[in-house]
Amino acid sequence: MSTAAHGAGEPCGDGLRERETVRTGGRHGGESAASRATSASTKDEDAVEAPRNGSDFAHLFVFANEKAGMKKVDKEHVNQIVFEMSKGSEHFKEAQRRDERTQAEVRKLRAKLATTLESDLAPVRHRVDAKVTKLLRERDLSRIYCVVDMDCFFAAVEMRDDPSLAGKPMAVGGLSMISTTNYLAREYGVRSAMPGFIARKLCPELVFVKSNFDKYRQASQEVRDILKKYDPKLHAGSLDEAYMDITDFVDVKIATEQAGANLDADAQTARRFHVAERVVQAMRDEVSAHTRLTCSAGIARTRMLAKIASDRNKPNGQCVVPWQPEKMLRFTRELAIRKVPGIGKVAEKKLKDALGVATVRDLWDKRYLCAHLLSAVQADYLLRVTLCCTNPSVSSSQASSSSAASSSAAAVSALPSAFGQGEDNQRGRKSIGMERTFSQGASSVQELFDTCLDICARLSRRCVEKQLIGHCVTLKIKKSSFEVFTRQTIVTNAVPRCADGTDLFEHARELLAREMPCRLRLMGIKVSKLIDPSHAPVKIVSSGVLHAVKPWMMRRTLK
């Protein structure tokens, strides 16, 4: 079992479990929105008819998506193996049910699009154009951001510590699930979030290594200690990822070199980015020399673009997004929409299949339709993406920037918290939670309650550390059928206030008891409706941690 901590809308809080994201396959990729709309009436019949090959199902699985090091993989072969080994399983059936719900939402959007008149868009154009003018006027491109992403981190740590793994395809995990793989394994189509038994079929020589998160945390801390020399307030997106603002470091270096004082504004910006490239290269070299691990990096004038660029030249490379506004826009608008943080599987399918939007340029060209058909929050975020306006605006105060970031985070799935104000500013955060997976499933009442208490204890310690308390407790469970359910309760006294998690567990166990009996593959606890800790300081009531649920606890809960 593995435990993960995360805040809503952020990359996994301490990186122990990779967040499940699915890139939709291209079943309708080359088909225009108009031609798909004409065939909407036959959609139900098509959905019933069984596709003939694995590629028709590729969009159902997160592990069918391409990662760094997989460009030369025979996708048709991988998709067929995945399909053959997944069909008929409960996971496969649940994925199909979720996909059908998404298809129903697509049909609703198509129907709304079919009844949209030109006159309906007239007021929308005026509103959107005014918004564009305002966003461009307030756009802040004054900072230099860098996102550092470790290369196949867990696998790299294992290969560093065990030289016998060199030259072998290997994966961290087991037959039930893989956390990550090295680049040699990826050449076979094996990747993170893939069941190990499917990976073994794709690569019979695959070597499995049991995960050791204590070791990964230690290696991660060594990396962060180096990175904090360049940005003391960096935001750790996960164990293997860091979001940094290196502007101050770059400016100090330029001042030290005593050059460029008489340059015009564009020349000064060009010099800053030239120095930034050298700074990031030196930073990456230092990480490699000190930890014997490699990392890749993205450099840009917005956090979002730096994040996207960090994946461009993997492994052990870096990418600089052009600093000139027009070139930066060109870079952005050539992106596939699935590359944009916050656009997940469902949002991508809606945009592609209902509106014919495949790239950010399509988003810009169809900005009026998006504003008319999508929610105000979704449309606002997508418009900001097309204009590279995802940083807080220069005219906003810090508080209003946090509010705007939180609003944008609700758009199209979850916007990573890295777009907020940094690790130490929790005001933009909406929730914090932890999850645990069960490789073989768990049904014992004692085991489930023990697990619930352990999650509550770990989450409470994290909340106390970050000074976070909230009025809403949510239980998330994934049953053996792979159906996911959430149950929540509103509490009068914000929790947690105990480092051992007992007060949080009082509420979580009540929610869990209502689902008994059950067999679970995942359990998670989340605290939301966070309140300002300065108004209600968190007091550590107990420093002890309970390791088992007492029998009286279960009896009282299950009555």
> Catalytic residues, which ones?
241
| Contact call for residues 295 and 149 (beta carbons, < 8 A) | yes
Quickly count: other Cβ atoms within 10 Å of residue 212's Cβ.
14
| 3-7/431-442 β-pairing | antiparallel
Alpha helices in 115-188 (DSSP H): 118-138, 153-161, 183-186
Quickly count: other Cβ atoms within 10 Å of residue 23's Cβ.
18
Give CA–CA dist 36/110, Å, rounded: 9
Determine the residue type at 507: H
Long-range contacts of 309-318 (CB under 8 A, 24+ apart): 309/147, 310/147, 310/148, 310/149, 310/241, 311/68, 311/149, 314/68, 314/69, 314/149, 314/151, 315/68, 315/69, 315/151, 315/152, 315/183, 316/151, 316/284, 316/288, 318/277, 318/280, 318/281, 318/284
3-state helix, strand, coil in the chain (%, to 5): 50, 15, 35
- Nearest alpha-carbon partner for 64 in 182, 195, 201: 195
Determine the residue type at 39: S
| Rg (the chain; Cα; Å) | 24
Whether the ω angle into residue 496 lies within 30 degrees of 0, i.e. cis, is yes
Quickly count: other Cβ atoms within 10 Å of residue 517's Cβ.
8
Give CA–CA dist 33/366, Å, rounded: 12
| 431-442/469-479 β-pairing | unpaired
